[in-house]
Amino acid sequence: MKDQKAILFFLLKFVALYVVLNTVYGLWVSSYAPLPDPITEIVTRQSVACISLTEKNVTIGSMTTSPNVPILKDGRVVVNVYEGCNSFNVMFVFLSFVIAYTGTLKKTVWFCAVGLTLIYIFNLFRVSLLYFIAEYYPNNLYFFHKYLFTGLLYGLVFMLWYFWVRKVWPTKA
């Protein structure tokens, strides 16, 4: 019975935190409509900086009536970055789990900072690689975006969770 209460309490904390984070974020994002939110714009700008290491004439398109941020090559839209592409929803899943699976404050803050940074960097590479796929292999974009890169991103989150539960959390020092 004690184990069931602990599991139920964990699930309640996880779901409650996830719902709160998503609701607040959703309200914040919708306050920018019909334009993209600043986080999506920053992720796009940083992805363009990564892409520009190997590609020339890659820029960000105008953002006047749509919530997406277009990435252009020679003035032509190659791919659009939407709010869901900024990795914040994945970050909320990660945070909700780590905080619900409570550790010491110091370890929790440290691990959340490291995990969020890794997720953010991985996502920058994901968006950048999606540009290259859209530019050079457009018929494969759907598969890579919908399945492969989404699976890899969530795989990273699961690896971080595993590391948290098995390596960091058990040693409460």
pLDDT at 173: 43
pLDDT tens digit sequence for 87-110: 999 999 999 999 998 878 899 999
Average pLDDT for 140-167: 94
Distances (CA, A) of 37 to 9, 58, 152: 34, 21, 25
Average pLDDT for 123-142: 97
pLDDT at 167: 79
Query: Rounded to an integer, what distance in angstroms lies between the CA atom of residue 153 and that of residue 59?
Result: 25
pLDDT at residue 78 is higher than 90:
yes
pLDDT tens digit sequence for 25-75: 999 999 999 999 999 999 999 999 999 999 999 999 987 788 899 999 999
